[in-house]
Amino acid sequence: MSIITINSDSIITDIDSHFKVSAGPGAGKTYWLVNHIKNVLHNSDKLFRTRKIACITYTNIAVETILKRLGTSAEHVEVSTIHSFLYKNVIKPYVSFVAEEFGLNVAEMDGHDDIVLSNYSFLNDWKTKTGQQRIRDDNTIIKAFTNLKWKFENNELKAKTDYPFKVGNYAIKNDSYLEYKKMMWKKGLLHHDDVLFFSFQIINKFPFVINILNAKFPYLFIDEFQDSNPIQVEIFKKLGLGESKIGVIGDIAQSIYSFQGADYTQFQNFSFQNMNEYILNENRRSSDEIIDALNDVRKDISQVKVRNISTEKPIIFIGDMILALRAAKIKCNDESIYTLSRNNITSNAMKAEINGIGLNSRLLENLKETDSTTKRSNLIYACIKAIAYGKEGKFNDAIKELEKLFNYRADKIRGKRKALKYITLLLDKYSEFENSSLFDFAVFIRTNLVSDLPNFKTGAIKTFYDSHTFKQLLLCVSIPEDMSSHKTDQSQKLCAN
């Protein structure tokens, strides 16, 4: 089937066929998607009070953007991230069907998180159950758990880590990762990745769930599809083989979530019988000179100029990033400067105008690996992350990070109050420790927050705390959905359309 060229104002009359839309940067794909949703709402005979359009995107800010653009039409559309969609529509109503098989404590289940249990008794219990008592380095085990992902292997989902973890002559057994998962599930704890795992298991074992989802959502549209991982794609395929009409929108050149298992070829190869394919080949954002540069870089989509605005040719600064930033500020006079970085530590360094040479993006993780006193390392780790979130106005994220320190599952209000007390004090007194060593920051925490925080005097731990600054570790924090003028390529995509 031939690919049909459209623009962001195009209205597709065939609303009851699967479709795929490829779009380059600045093509207005979110604008087109919102208008297509309105078109379906106006013309479809498959939507009733209890039947909605499902729209999946990959960040909470993107969800808010689409909802805002939909306006009053939003009440007939369920817009959410993939994890929120599956948790609400698959996990909560049906996970009890598979809970016994996998040892999931449904009564204790309360959402999903990226928490990794790392206390001594938990790790010791895991070693005993898996027969790996000879592994003494708990930090290596924690690092392995942190890097766990569900992956397809021989048509089955298996818990795998991206790195071969060895401690001396002993390797962590692959089969023992599933035991870690089961121990988490027994406590009612789900990782984000587990939402995909359980959704896949439920849909595979109980096909009627697909029928229910098809009836509830006759249309399912997925934005940024190039960032879907294989588990998500399999779930979408199963929904599309039922009665739901699937629409996917993406750009293979903007795939940035490979670290989460995303593979842009999933978008290229995704297909259903009689699927319509479209291409948005206009660029409504950029100047002619920038579009020319883009067309020189990529050949799969040749973008058409819409604004026909000519400006100066793009200038490329090479060398020291802070000197380049300052040169750009001079060149742009009083205009706002925006930067796009490959990783979070570089983005954060640009905000602080600190040279990125020699920065170690793993320092925050090294803290936990070096400091084996869990209470101290977990507290300082959480406080640093919470401060970074709070300084960017992400107070909910800051409180959530600190809540992990308190085991108040039966009294969540108490935990939130304590977390609020912590972050308020840390931000109020920020000037007292912002230029201090990590050791001095630990002293501040002991003096102002936790008086019984374990102390240390000599050794590798003391050396680590003395030889690194608080600010060095602060730069390592990944800001969720960063909307500042200095972004990573992940957060930049939020403003692309």
Q: Any known ligand binding at 382?
A: no
SS (H, E, C) 323-379: HHHHHHHHHCCCCCCCEEECCHHHHHHHHHCCCCCCCCCCHHHHHHHHCCCHHHHHH
Residues in contact with 309: Cβ distance below 8 Å, sequence separation at least 6, in sequence order:
287, 288
- Which residue is associated with the tokens 């930033």? 325
Distance of CA 155 to the CA centre of its chain: 25
Question: Distances from the Cα of 43 to the Cαs of 30, 56, 70, 387, in angstroms?
Answer: 20, 21, 16, 49
For residue 225, count other CB atoms closer than 10 A to its CB: 29
Estimate the crossing angle of helix 192-205 against helix 208-216, to 10 degrees.
Answer: 110
Which residues lie across from 57 on neighbouring strands?
Answer: 81
Residue length of the chain:
497
E strand intervals along 141-185 = 148-153, 156-161, 166-167, 170-171
Q: Among 205, 203, 263, which residue's Cα sits nearest to residue 238?
A: 203
**Checking DSSP bridges between strand 77-81 and strand 53-57, what pairing results, if any?**
parallel
Only one residue has tokens 């065939």, namely 14
CA distances from 19 to 9, 15, 29, 430 (A): 17, 9, 14, 51
CA gap 370, 461 in Å, rounded: 6
Residue 139, C-beta contacts closer than 8 angstroms, at least 6 positions apart:
368, 369, 370, 372
Residue 29 assigned to a binding site:
yes
The answer to the question of whether 23 is labelled as a binding residue is yes
Q: Are strands 170-171 and 166-167 parallel, antiparallel or unpaired?
A: antiparallel
- Tell me how far apart the alpha carbons of residues 245 and 415 are, in angstroms, rounded to a whole number: 43
CA dist 371 to 15, 265, 365, Å?
A: 58, 41, 10
143 known ligand binder: no
- Kindly state the helix (H) or strand (E) to which residue 282 belongs, with its residue range: strand 282-283
3-state SS assignment for residue 188: coil
Q: Is 459 annotated as a binding residue?
A: no
Q: How far, in Å, CA of 218 to CA of 211, rounded?
A: 10
Binding-site positions: 23-30
Binding-site positions for ATP: 23-30
